[in-house]
Amino acid sequence: MKTRFKLVLFTVIFLISWMSRVYPDTIYLRNGRNIEGLIKKEDGKSVLLDVGFGTVKFRREEIKDISRSSREEAFNIRKRWGEQRKLEEERMSRRKKELEETRQKKEFEPKEARFIQDKNKIVVEALLNKKVKASLLLDTGATVVLLSSGIAKRLRIRKNATKKDMVKVQMADGRKVNAQLIVLNTVSVEGAKARDVEAVVLSDYEGMGGCDGLLGMSFLSRFNFQIDTVNKKLILKRRR
């Protein structure tokens, strides 16, 4: 009785499996290979086969034979492909979300930048527009980032600015000098990055106290920052 039950159960499982199987169109090539899919388009010269995530085109002379699916089988295959695409899109969406969460977590982690201190001057290394390194004097009293004309040249910033791009900048000693107002695509200090940072180019100066400019509040205000003079570190934590 037990053996008979097992035989009936096996038969039922086999029938369900056989009934659920669907057969796609199959193109048999003269080189011995065969490709499965659904024929999307064909004429006397070629056959275009849909393989689910793309198409493959064959010349007629390459094809030895074609086995064609029924209308019901083709419908079920397209349905299965749709389900597979949906699952793949969901997987990619989850992966994209995970990557974005990881990126944001990394972006908002505190960054530590070593600096050089000479008396009351603090100098840090910055990367401008992802390509030009500059030694900038940390200055919380400067409204924007200030750059020398030498750095502007390396950044390939044009000198022929219009009048609306020219501003007057008051220096620490009270003097007012002409400067060109620009926007830097990125300013980065040891991975602490800010985008679209306002800066001015001091056209009358090649350098400032051996530095390439000032790191002002147009960059620093994007972060909660701490200046650790004991360990000579500038700690930058991006504001949310």
pTM of the model: 0.59
Q: What are phi and psi of 28, to 5 degrees?
A: -100, 120
CA 215 to chain centre: 27
Where, residue-wise, is CATH 2.40.70.10 in the chain? 112-238
Q: What pLDDT shows up at residue 160?
A: 62
Distance CA 68, CA 199 (A): 68
Within the chain, strands assigned E span 25-29, 34-42, 46-50, 55-59, 63-67, 111-114, 116-118, 121-128, 132-138, 145-148, 166-170, 176-189, 192-202, 213-215, 223-228, 233-238
Residue entry with tokens 């000579």: 232
Question: HEC string of 152-188?
Answer: HHHCCCCCCCCHHHEEEEECCCCCEEEEEEEEEEEEE
| CATH number belonging to the domain at 2-78, selected among 3.30.360.10, 3.90.1750.10, 2.30.30.100, 2.40.50.140 | 2.30.30.100
CA 102 to chain centre: 12
Report helix, strand or coil for 210: coil
Task: Tell me which architecture the domain covering 112-238 has in CATH.
Answer: Beta Barrel (2.40)
Half-sphere exposure of 42 (CA within 13 A, CB side): 15
Where, residue-wise, is CATH 2.30.30.100 in the chain? 2-78
Q: In which residue ranges of the chain is pLDDT below 50?
A: 2, 4-19
Structure tokens that stand for 109 in this block: 């982690």
Contacts of 61 (CB under 8 A, 6+ apart): 30
- The CA-to-CA distance between both ends of the chain, in Å, stands at 72
Question: How, if at all, do strands 34-42 and 46-50 pair?
Answer: antiparallel
Question: How many C-beta atoms surround the C-beta of residue 96 within 10 A?
Answer: 10
Torsion sign across C-alpha atoms 124, 128, 130, 134: negative
